[in-house]
Amino acid sequence: MELGTGHSLLYLTLILSVLFIFHNQIASNLLVGHHKLRVKRSSPDLPLRFRSDGTFKILQVADMHYGTGLVTRCRDVLDSEFDFCSDLNTTRFLKRIIQHEKPDFIAFTGDNIFGTSTGDAAESLIRAFGPAMESGVPWAAVLGNHDQESTMTREELMSFISLMDYSLSQTYPSTEDASSEAREHMIRDIDGFGNYNLRVYGAPGSHLANSSILNLYFLDSGDREVIQGVRTYGYIKESQLHWLRGVSKGFQGKNQVLNHLEGSSPEMFAPSLAFFHIPIPEIRLLYNKKIIGQFQEAVACSSINSGVLQTFVSMGDVKAVFMGHDHSNDFCGNLDGIWFCYGGGFGYHGYGRAGWSRRARIILAELGKGEYSWTGVERIRTWKRLDDEKLSKFDEQILWDLQQSR
């Protein structure tokens, strides 16, 4: 008896000290972050840019639904799979697909952790994003509707996520272009946490090496709302769309200047991709349309239509949108010329369909070949991979092609 107690005490001490080190690292980052000091955290090389082979590859991870690790059981797997299945399978899938696809960037589209299955959001986040942090691949995340159901608010979650190794996530949009304090206030007044924009620059050595030629928009689609006494899902608010229109206009203005300056070079157009969690109501219209992938469950969106689709259409630069939330839907469908794609459920603790493998989406942007060097983005394609033995690739399609769009 004595011996047993001694051992478990020793074990407990070990676990506690490991957790203490983990937390201390992050906590000191947070504290220092508030004081605007530089910290030693592993940061990716910036800016994001296309590779010298003219490609930029994004891995979309939707709905990891991470709990605490080994003790968090899998949902909706076959009976034969249940006994040896936990969050660690989600970790394994993430490691494998990063190794296999070697993405340049990873986009996590919410419900990264399943709040109700963890008593410590920080620990859950560290475990969930662990493979991304270890890989050194730059990554960014938005929140879903379940991330905040544990020990951190949505604002705290985003601050924490933005300080993790190799993370490019931001709690607030950048004030880079804003000079006055009023602008900063305005940016803080935008609804939600995790509205931001990341720019991807041209290939090294090309004439667009110092220009942003692909933009990635991240939006917080919220969690829940009560509309006239009725509970519904969150949605993207007008303040967010207003900010988005401004950013988009800014980029398109810059491109005009660039086109003007370069005269003879082919017209520069920087397409954008958007990432958020909760689908927009128009996705329902795709039920009877030609889609690529599976439409297997009702679209769980808000009862409010805030005009996200109209905004994207009027902006003109958004060519494809990537969402999560409905784990059993993994299709892409086209609305008014813009592709809307689900990631398909990635995590084993999230609901799904037994016998229907967990999956991930890959997005590949390809540059055009100019006479002397790479030009701007010419094509954007996507495909998915299953978490099976061979990480089977399927449903490959083109989302946008500069030549065809002219």
Residues that bind ligand NAG (CB under 6 A): 77, 81, 84-85, 89, 92, 207, 209-210
Structure tokens that stand for 203 in this block: 């290939």
Contact 109, 62 (CB under 8 A): yes
Closer CB to ligand NAG, 328 or 334, in the complex? 328
Between 330 and 387, name the residue whose CB sits nearer to ligand NAG.
Answer: 387
**How many Å is the maximal CA-CA distance in the chain?**
84
**Could you tell me the smallest distance in angstroms from the CB atom of residue 272 to ligand NAG?**
22
359 DSSP β-pair partners? 386
Q: Which residues contact 183 (CB under 8 A, 6 or more apart)?
A: 175
Closest separation between CB of residue 207 and ligand NAG, Å? 5
Residue whose CB is less far from ligand NAG, 265 or 334: 265
- Nearest residue (CB) to ligand NAG, 73 versus 92: 92
Beta strand pairing call for 374-386 and 393-401: antiparallel
Helix axes 2-34, 154-162, angle to 10 degrees: 90
Within a 10 A sphere around the Cβ of 373, how many other Cβ atoms?
17
| Closest CB to ligand NAG among residues 75, 379 | 75
Q: Residue 208 CB, nearest distance to ligand NAG (Å)?
A: 7
Distance CA 224, CA 221 (A): 9
For the bound state, the minimum distance from the C-beta of residue 377 to ligand NAG, rounded and expressed in Å, comes to 17
In the complex, the smallest distance separating the C-beta of residue 276 from ligand NAG, rounded to whole angstroms, is 28
Tokens of 22: 């983990």
Question: Considering the complex, what minimum distance in angstroms separates the CB of residue 47 from ligand NAG?
Answer: 11
CA distances from 283 to 64, 86, 227, 295, 367 (A): 22, 32, 21, 10, 29
Bond from prior residue into 47 cis (ω within 30 degrees of 0)? yes
Beta carbon nearer to ligand NAG, 89 or 117: 89
Q: How far is the CB of 325 from ligand NAG (least distance, A)?
A: 22
Residue closer to ligand NAG by CB (options 32, 209) is 209
Q: Which residues of 68-105 are buried (b: 16+ CB within 10 A; e: fewer)?
A: bbeebebbbbeeeeeeebbbbbbbebbeebbeebebbb
